[in-house]
A and B are shown apart, each in its own frame.
Chain A
Amino acid sequence: MRPRVPWLGLAVLAGGLAAWEALSRSVPGLGDYVPPASRVLLTLGGILANGELAAHVRASLVRFAGGYALAAALGVGAGVLLGSSRLLYSFVEPLVELLRPMPSPATIPIAILFFGIGDEMKIVVTAYACTWPILLNTLDGVRSVDRILRRTAATFRVGRWRTLFQVVIPAASPQIATGLRVSLAIALILVTTSEMVVANDGLGFYILDLQRSFRIPEMYAAILALAVLGYLLNRGFLALDGWAMAWHRGATRKELL
């Protein structure tokens, strides 16, 4: 089946852009704060061509990747461990309840104190914030693994480690994937925020710096680039998820029949 072209949605988008263009050109003074859409797009072409944007995107992506990878390792590892043992979880539950509700950007000042103002600080802050959803989803997923699966593994005398890696983790993987997807958006928020608070490169710094130096068309162009980046990361994740989880949907569909 061919995907349907969302004509109406595209028309609304085009109408919105046209209205933006017209208003920005006709209302006196507005153009200084909200430059016409066409100018923003042209400016985007400009900062793409001269490499200014690419350098900041690269800096942000390095921090994003570092923090996200660290969080994935920590979150899945700790989630599997804590999900496998209620006793173990009872030792950390109050700690989790104390730290979890604190808005994660509040860790930026303390991270500055311990890690300085470089990449490490941003990676640590991003990793901290992203670990929570991954950990809690993994924990939930491991706990709700079908008992029949565990017992079947035991019946076939499958060892502890093999059960963990070939039964428990695969069975919990859809929820692990959910945690990873939620963290994707959170990682971008924390990378840009930590760059806004203190940095000399990266998209968060770049956008705020453009505003402070009153290069308004560039600012809008960079924000547009960030939205496209967020969109592509999410799309990429969904494609990867669809490919990696295809077996799971195949395996669970049989039950429905």
Chain B
Amino acid sequence: MIWRESRWNGIAVLVVLALSWEAAGRAGWVHRLFFPPVSRILASFAALVASGEVLRHVGVSLWRAALGYALAALVGIALGVAMGYWRRAYEAAEIVIELGRALPPPAIIPVAIVLLGIEDAMKVAVIFFSCAFPILVNTTDGVRAVDPVLLRSARTFGLGEGETIRKVIVPAAGPFIMTGLRIALAIALILTVISEMVGATSGIGYFILDSQRSFRIPQMYAGMLVLALVGYLLNRAFLLADARLMAWHRRVSDSA
């Protein structure tokens, strides 16, 4: 028999992995404390979801992530358009941005703690700082790559600068902006988890680290499962939104 390429191959692998994990745990081949059987992890997952405990942590995390992300999108797109459109703005900001971008974002956490304390504002600031750069850089690239013919047509039709930016440049740079937003989405989630691990008493990052520290291991795995699901769903939602928002763009560039 020859194996064929199919979606079931991978699902079979997942099932086999889960079953051998379960069997190894029950037979005592692996440390029961470190490797609780899959059934226990799933039971813990169900209990956490049913009690609403994990949902509360996820809710707190998502709120922080959303605030930081939205701020970063606002500032990143606005600055990116300015830097892409006006050469002077680009030259003025380039060095400062290169320096800021070189800093690994977790390093900003202690500064944020000093200035903002360990509450939500600190996390939002850290998420904002880390997400703003990819959005800004991609928007700048997108605006600089706008077809000059579009700009000349806009001028021919007598569009003012503000209108040109709103109606021509931002839409034309749309796919680049969306790329920046997609990269930033993953980063937002990463920095949410990191900032919650370093200084927090709530949120899914705190929940997972705290579960490990208090040796509630099935709960730690369940928390990771929740986080994987959240990441997956967010990415899916983004792709759906992207497909809807950018449908006109694909239509236009296909016909061209």
- A residues lining the B interface (CB < 8 Å): 6, 8-13, 16, 33-34, 86-87, 90-95, 97-99, 101-110, 112-114, 185, 188-189, 192-193, 196-197, 203-204, 207-208, 210-211, 216, 219-220, 223, 226-228, 230-231, 234
Q: Is A216 in contact with B114, judged by CB distance below 8 angstroms?
A: yes
**Given A102-B227, A193-B197, A208-B109, CB of A230 within 8 Å of CB of B14:** no
Judged by a CB distance under 8 angstroms, whether B160 is at the interface is no
Asked if B7 is an interface residue, CB under 8 A from chain A, the answer is yes
Interface hits, B89-146 → A, CB 8 Å = 91-96, 98-100, 102-111, 113-115
A-B contacts, 18 listed (Cβ < 8 Å): A13-B99, A33-B115, A91-B12, A92-B13, A102-B228, A103-B190, A105-B190, A106-B223, A109-B209, A113-B217, A189-B106, A189-B190, A193-B106, A196-B106, A223-B108, A227-B99, A228-B102, A230-B102
A175 to B109, CA, bound (A): 32
Tally of B interface residues using CB under 8 Å: 61
- Whether B34 lies near A86 (C-beta < 8 A) is no
Residue of B nearest to A191 (CB): B104
Residues 161-216 of B contacting A (Cβ, < 8 Å):
186, 189-190, 192-194, 197-198, 205, 208-209, 211-213
Give B97's nearest chain A residue, CB to CB. Answer: A9
B231 cross-chain contacts in A, Cβ below 8 A: 101-103
- What DSSP secondary structure best describes chain B's contact surface? helix
Q: In the docked arrangement, what's the CA distance between A105 and B223, Å?
A: 13
Q: Chain A CB within 10 Å — which of B98, B103, B107, B228 has the most?
A: B107
B4 lies within 8 A of chain A by Cβ:
yes
A227–B103 CB distance below 8 A: yes
Residue of B whose beta carbon sits closest to that of A211 = B110
Could you say which residues of chain A place their CB within 8 Å of the CB of B93? Answer: 9, 12
Q: Report the minimal beta-carbon distance from A112 to chain B, rounded to whole angstroms.
A: 6
Cα distance, A115 to B53, chains bound together (Å): 29
B248 contacts partner chain A, Cβ-Cβ < 8 Å: no
Contacts A101-B231, A108-B197, A197-B198; A8 near B104 (Cβ below 8 A): no
Q: B224 contacts A106, CB within 8 Å? A: yes
Report how far A203 CA is from B109 CA in the complex, Å. Answer: 13
Q: How far is B190's CA from A196's CA once the two chains are assembled, in angstroms?
A: 14
Q: A86-B5, A90-B5 are in contact. Are A192 and B211 (CB under 8 A)?
A: no
Of A11, A101, A211, most buried by chain B (CB within 10 Å of CB) is A101
Q: CB of B51 within 8 A of chain A?
A: no
Task: Write the nearest CB–CB distance from A111 to chain B, whole angstroms.
Answer: 10
